[in-house]
Structure formats: C-alpha cells, structure tokens
Chains A and B, each alone.
Chain A
Amino acid sequence: MTARGPAPADGRPWPWLVPAVLVLAAFYAVPVADVLRLAFSDATLVRPPERWTTAALSALLADPALPAVLRTTILFTAVNVIALQVFGLLIALTLVRGEARGLRGMTAFRTLVLAAWVVPGIANGLIWQMLFDEAPYGTLNSLLGLAGFGPVAWLSDPEMALVSAVIANLWQGTAFSMIVFYAARKGIDPVLYEVAALDGASPWRTFRSVTLPLLRTAVAVNTVLVTVQTLNTFDSILALTGGGPGRATEVLALFTFNTVFYNLDLAGGSVLALMLFVVAMAMAVLVHGWLGRAR
C-alpha cells in the first residue's frame, strides 16, 4: 500500500527525541549526579563535602524514625492514589454524561474543581488548617455540631490527622485526574456507546465492557503520575500540621525537606532524596509491568 512514503512502522526515532532528551540532560544530568555524590559524603548545607563515607546512609537506615515515616508515606500515598482516581474518574464520567444530556452547571462544577487545584500548596494547608480548627468555634466542627454530630479531633489525634491530610490533598489534587480521565473518555469513539445502547447494555455493563478497558492506559499513566505527585507532596502538609502531632503526618518528602533545610544535613537529605526516587521508580516499574501485560 505504501509504495512511496515511509511505512508507519519504520523511521529513525532519534531526530524526534533529541530536543526532549537534550533539555532533560541539560537540567538533570549534573544535579542528579551531584545528589549521588553528596549522598556518599559528609556534606552539610554550609560545608562542602570533605570525604567519602557511607555514614549518612547507615545513620538514616538506622534512624528509628524511618520506619514510621515510610509507613506514613505509603499509607498517605496509597489512599490518595486510589481516592484521587476514584474521585477523578467519577467526576469525569459524570461530567461527560451531564454534558451529553445537555445538563446545565457542568462547566461551573468543573471550574470549581479546577479552582481548588490552582491554589498554591501552602495556602491549601493554611485554609484547611482553619477549617479543621478544633476550637469550640472551629468551622467544620461547628457545622457538624449543627447537624448533631460530636466534635472531631481533626488534627490533634494522630490517626485522624493523617485522614485530614488526605482530605486536604484530595480537595486540591482531584482536578488532575479529572482532566486526564475527561480527555481520555472524550477520546473514546462514540460509536462504541451507540452499539452498546443498541445491544441494550446497562450503564454498569457499558462501563465495565467499554469505558474501563479503553481507559486502561489512561489509568495506568495516571496512577504513575499521581503516585509521583503524592509522594512529593510536602508543602500542604507542612502548612497543615508541620508533620505532627509527633510524626503522625510526616511523609518522606517532608522528612527530606526538614533534613535539608532545618537540619542543614545535605548528605542525609541526598540519601532520602534517592530513597524517594527509588520508591517512585518501583511504582513505575510495577505499572510498566501491568501495561506490558495489557498490550
């Protein structure tokens, strides 16, 4: 069929990839190498590395706080990744349905979700801190009181504080998944839905047999992206709880931030930075395997 032009399946990829690779290399190569170097040194933020050592590595691995921090990180990330996607998918599909039916208010709702997304992270923490205020006049507790529910220890109870941090993150982060799923859902050929309707498939069956399988790539990609974003979230938690009470909401990213900027421990911070990267990478490989299976 293609007697003249090149077939779709051949061609050299590198000319197409060069701009992307060059820019990444320019900004990342040296700093990433530097992080590796610093992780095995005795550098602090105010003192250049003087010798090679694994002291920072072994000190951090032996740090009794690390298991708790990792546990909090995994819990916070896992719950967020699942909830963000369920919310995002639910909203995206509802919006698509609403638009197809010509319902009013869909744009307004979508704009509202997006507005939450563009609030700077630290401001997000400050706002929710006021909402979660447990004083007798606190916003959410006052509202719950009106509805006849008892006060909730939103931020002072260690376990509840993590839930509250998840809520604040959901408020801000859902928009991202919503856009990804909305775009992917819009990309599905409408003919498929027409066929399903002709076959008399129930909405649930249509969702299971048409929507979900075709959104599989989007879900996989989104899982990776949302995981990385959530793993790296620290500014909103910093403003919301500072990581407390105790270490109840101290995730790995916040731990890293504190290590570098309050403790000035650059070597330790670099070790944690590598750890953060390894955790994210492990997630990506898992999803990659899943993607490979799906093909």
Chain B
Amino acid sequence: MRARLGDMATYAGLALLAVFFATPFVWMTSLALRTPAEIYRGAARLIPDAPTLDNFARVLSDPAFLVYLWNGLKLSAFGGALAVALAIPAAYAFSRLDFRHKQATLVAILAVQMVSPLVILVPLYRWMERLGLLNWDLSVIALYGALGMPLAVWLLKVAFDAIPREIEEAAIVDGAARWQVLTRITLPLARPGLASAFVLAMVTNWSQFLIPFILLERDADWPISVAIFNFAGSVSASTTQLLAAACLIAVVPAVAVFAALQRMIVSALIAGAIKG
C-alpha cells in the first residue's frame, strides 16, 4: 500500500516536471507545423488551422542540412570519444595509484576546465592559425578532446573508485601488468561510467557554437549548432517555422545516440550486478 502511494507520488512529481520540460517542445512542434500565414498567431492557435509538414520536408530536402547534421555528429562523437580515451589512463592513475600532490594535480586538471573557450577564443584562433590547423575537422575534434577531457577524468575516477580493488589485485597476483588489468578488467566493469562520460562530452560538443564558428571558415564544414542560424532569418518572409522544424530535427540524432548508449549503460549495470 505504502509502495503504491509512493508510485503515485513518483508519477505526480514526474508529471509536473514533464510539463515543464515538454512545454517548449510542444510549442516548437506547433510552430514547425504552421504555414507562414499562421506563424504570428501566437499560442491561441496551438494546433494550427492548416497543419503542414512542409517545413520538415523543406529542411530535410536541403542537402546542406544533412551535411550540417553529419558534421555535428562527426565532430561531437569523435571529440567525445577522444576526450574519454585521453581521460582513461589519467583517471586510472588518480584512482589506483598513490603519488604526491595527487589531489592538487586533480584540481589542476579541473582548473583547465574553467578556462572556457570564450576566455581564450581570440588567442586560440591566432594560435591555431599559426599552427596551420584552421578549417580542419581533426583540429576541432582534437580541441573537443582537450575540452571534454578534464570532466571525463573526474567522472571516470569516480567510476573506477566504485570498482573493488580486490578484483584487480587478483589479476595482479596472477602476474598481469597494470595496463592489462585496466583494459581487461577495469574498463569492462566501468562501462556505465565510460558511457556517461562519453555522453556528457558528446552532448557538450553537440551544442558548441564558438569553437566551430571561429575555427571552421567554410560553411560546408559547419556543424548544425552553427548552421542552424541560417534558418533564423530572411528579409522577405518569416522563417520561424523553419527554424523550429530545424531545431526539432537537430535534436533527434543526439537523442538517438543517447538512447542507444542508455541500453548499454543499463545492460552493463545488470551484468555487473550478476557478477558482483
């Protein structure tokens, strides 16, 4: 009975929150379904008189839009993967080794996270120009790797800390080297943590605006987070309905990647529970 009441409270709380989180999407969907003539009708016409899928068709039939989506996915996914890859050994050291100034080093790495791209934007542009790295997707990916890595170090350290040392020690007793322990035992067990770290890094990259804007000069290289503003204006007609449609479509790939990883996180947790 008490659990039942708890379930009801859970649903009530989530329903309230769901309204908050869903309202902007409902509104965007309403806008995306409108014809230009109805775009200024406000909320009174939440469901348009003449709903149309034209806006979605228009956005999707623009070959450039798909290129922007692909660019966004490529930069953010590889950037996130690189961040996690760089963070794994560091996080492992912070979790498993004892050394002097460990806490200070950890905070120092996190301090780098505090240097926002905005803070170093102009010098960064000049530095990348001097290195000849402008207009190159790999340099943006590498930069995303650097940007996301400090956070990934912290998350992975927490994940590694949660894995009992005894499991590793058994392997070490059997003569395995540390890196073998890491790759064969620790990483598989840390899959949920790895997936979370990757998702966090990837999504942060997905909505990055300043870095691709400044480092990629050709619009064909732009990710969707920059290019979406091409749908934001026109002198002769309102394009709000197109912007809304573009936003909704742009959200889909990132959510899809997350949904895929979510299954992995959950299944890894279950596997871990059985073993433990």
Which residues from chain A sit less than 8 Å from chain B, CB to CB?
A: 1-6, 8-13, 15-17, 19-20, 23-24, 26-28, 30-32, 34-35, 38, 45, 87, 90-91, 94, 97-98, 101, 103, 105, 107, 109-123, 126-128, 130-131, 133, 135, 137-139, 142-143, 171, 174-176, 179-180, 183-184, 186-187, 190, 203, 217-218, 221, 224-225, 228, 231-232, 234-235, 253, 256-257, 260, 266, 269, 273-274, 276-277, 280-281, 284-285, 288, 291-292
Contacts and interface: CB of A to CB of B under 8 A. Distances in A.
A27 B140 CA distance: 11
Contacts of A8: 96-98, 165, 168-169
Contacts of A16: 89-90, 92-93, 97
B103 interface: yes
Contacts of B251: 115, 118-119
B258 interface: yes
B99 A19 contact: no
A225 B151 contact: yes
B24 A116 contact: yes
B207 A24 contact: no
A187 B159 contact: yes
B114 A127 contact: no
Contacts of A15: 89
Interface of B: 3, 6-7, 10-11, 13-14, 17-18, 20-25, 27-28, 31, 41-44, 86-87, 89-90, 92-93, 96-99, 102-103, 105, 107, 109-116, 118-124, 126-127, 142-143, 145-146, 149-151, 153-155, 158-159, 161-162, 165, 168-169, 172-173, 175-176, 178, 192-193, 196, 199-200, 203, 206-207, 209, 224-225, 228-229, 232, 240, 243, 247, 250-251, 254-255, 258-259, 262, 265, 269, 273
B122 A186 contact: no
Contacts of A111: 255, 258-259
A143 B22 CA distance: 14
A127 B32 CA distance: 12
B269 A186 contact: yes
A196 to B, nearest CB: 15
Contacts of B151: 225
A103 to B, nearest CB: 6
Given A32-B115, A34-B126, A131-B23, A288 B103 contact: yes
A35 B89 contact: no
Given A38-B123, A118-B254, A133-B42, 9 more contacts: A15-B89, A31-B127, A34-B127, A119-B250, A128-B24, A139-B43, A174-B21, A269-B122, A288-B107
B21 A23 contact: no
Nearest to A272: B119
A215 B53 CA distance: 46
Given A16-B92, A128-B24, A225-B113, A11 B97 contact: yes
A35 B224 CA distance: 29
Contact of B172 (A2, A90, A128): A2
